[in-house]
Amino acid sequence: MTDRHYQQARLARDHRFDGRFFVAVKTTGIYCRPICPAPSPKEQNVRYFETAIAAANAGFRPCLRCRPDSAPASWAWKGTDTTLERAMRLIDDGALINGSVTGLADRLGISSRYLGQLFQRSVGTSPKQYSLYQQVLFAKSLLQQTDLPITQVALASGFNSVRRFNDCFASVLRMTPRSLRRPAGSRSQEPGIRLFLSYRPPYDWAALRDFMQTRLIETLEWCGDDYYGRTFSLTNGASGRFTAWHRPERFGFEVSLEFSQPVALLPVVRTTRRLLDLDADSSTIDAHLAPIQAQLGPERPGLRLPGTWDAFEAGIRAILGQQISVAAARNLVRQLVAEHGELLPGQGHEHRLFPTPATLAQSDLMTLKIPGRRRQSLIDFARFFDTQPEQAADPEHWLALGGIGPWTVNYARMRGLGDSDIWLGSDLGVKKALGQANGAWQPADASPWQSYLTFYMWSLL
């Protein structure tokens, strides 16, 4: 995009470009989203940046009206380097909140020096500064949207001390945390924490909702016409639940979060965004898939990938779903959760958590009416996650386990990790849809959005 393109998108306040670039105003020292409702500045007073952190590095602070921290991340500036994309995803999930850059580099299989070079070349800052910037922007959202005390905001954002939080906040945003507090009268009196998570339209909520409802596990999940919610557990032993209400008129979801104990919220919010696929650039994906969809059936703009909480849950669902119907697989998952899922603390018998790897590894699972080999695959899979969590985090390592093949791994990568380029050509539902399809096209034509093509094939059934 050129400055002329940026100018046209800014003046039109086009929501399709939200998150793809940011507008900085020289006369005020503030940077905004292109959809900011404030009066448009003169072009000679404007600078354009591809990322929010680039605008901050240039000395601009975020607008308090349009809140650039809530703009969905754009694929456009992430580049094509898969190592960089994975590093950014891990940092967004909180890898550097309690970990080190060296440890992150080891997980990626590269040196810390090379990791730093990747970030400097593509993002314009170091991995640690990128992580701190995300933490500060998230803290800004908590200060503006919740009534949490500043001390709890600091802890929820991953800072170990209020002093460190105040110093980072002042250096990054050039303002104090207290200056962002909402008036007491405008704060919600409802329990838990409420946040608003944005997306770039279009968003096909009906398709995602119907997919979730078809696979709904009672007590673990709940879903209605305009909401989806579920329980979840974290590696530090904390647990909780969230409910996300779709607000199409505001292009986002109003999310209520409740926890059993104080936690760093940033990884939870990032996972929720992935589960609802809020960061997809639908206009780009739709334009790429339109020629293929035209040969297969009606176009479905705004398709999103319905996720699961983590790769372990996705793997368990995939193993139980091997070569059987969706309804049969759902019944098996329901039984597994009912028999081995712990009750969510403070919720009585209303909600359960998905079984942990340790729990399933110690069970014989004899009550499940499945072939013995598949039962052993479940146990081996759970033991792998329980004893070697770092290796198990990469689904490619699952192939060494008996009873787990490419379909299981790819299904888990798509739903558990949000991988956008997975084609499930061996899936029974995809095969059925392909039997009704016409046209001269290849799945590779959809790359790097083959996962969305897979979901589109399911939507045709």
Alpha carbons 295 and 70: distance in angstroms, whole number: 37
- 221 contacts 227 by C-beta, under 8 angstroms: no
- Is residue 340 classed as helix, strand or coil in its secondary structure? helix
C-alpha closest to that of 277 among 446, 75, 108, 79: 75
Alpha carbons 19 and 283: distance in angstroms, whole number: 12
- Is residue 361 classed as helix, strand or coil in its secondary structure? helix
Is 32 an active-site residue? yes
From the list 14, 18, 32, 419, the catalytic residue is: 32
Return the structure tokens found at 74.
Answer: 């754009």
- 362 contacts 387 by C-beta, under 8 angstroms: no
Q: How far is CA 357 from the centre of its chain?
A: 22
The helix/strand count (H/E) of the chain reads as 19, 9
DSSP string, 264-314: -HHHHHHHHHHHTTTT--HHHHHHHHHHHHHHHSS--TT------SSHHHH
DSSP string, 221-252: EEEETTEEEEEEE-TTS-EEEEEEEEEGGGTE
The 10 Å Cβ neighbour count of residue 192 is 15
Is 427 an active-site residue? yes
Q: How far is CA 22 from the centre of its chain?
A: 21
- 300 contacts 204 by C-beta, under 8 angstroms: yes
- Is residue 193 classed as helix, strand or coil in its secondary structure? strand
From the list 69, 286, 421, 427, the catalytic residue is: 427
- 167 contacts 188 by C-beta, under 8 angstroms: no
Catalytic positions: 32, 427
